[in-house]
Amino acid sequence: MKPSKLISRLIATAVSAQKNAYCPYSRYPVGAAILTESGRIFAGCNVENASYGLSLCAERVAIFNAVTRRQLGIRAVCVVANSAKPCGACRQVMCEFSTRETELYLVDLNPRTRRQKVRRTYVHKMLPDAFDPLSSGLLPAHPQNLIKARSSLSVQHRTGKARRKR
């Protein structure tokens, strides 16, 4: 399946972001890009620190970049690296702003040949049984900080009127 022009642009943005990675300790550059519900694309790269716990992954940088511009709903995520796979913290943050339909593109980019291998999946499949602030009761049924589609799924789930697709 050939990716659409929009997904190709998402991948190109993540590839470009990877070039800006600040990774003097791991020497493992990662780029990420997210496509929001409004159609905007936001980029991120990993930023390391000598105090390793203060480092940020590319995926979270891209998401936080979008959030600062009031873009809260994610339609698609792209991660680019040699053997690209989001860490657990990034998977949980992605779940916070995603729906079950949010696509995830993992682009394995060989650093020597620059060849890309693209794998398409869904954010929700990467973290089964994720901690969900809506179903746990931490957020009201219609929180201002989450997208409408997600909050309506949660209301249906809590009232038993409909069940989420698995």
Best CA proximity match to 69, nearest among 96, 32, 31, 39: 39
Query: Is 101 one of the annotated active-site residues of the chain?
Result: no
E strands, the chain, are 31-36, 41-45, 74-81, 103-109, 116-122
Catalytic residue chosen out of the listed positions 59, 96, 101, 103: 59
> Cα–Cα distance between 30 and 85 in angstroms, integer?
10
Q: Is 163 left (phi over 0), alpha (psi -120 to 50) or beta?
A: beta
Residues designated as active site: 59
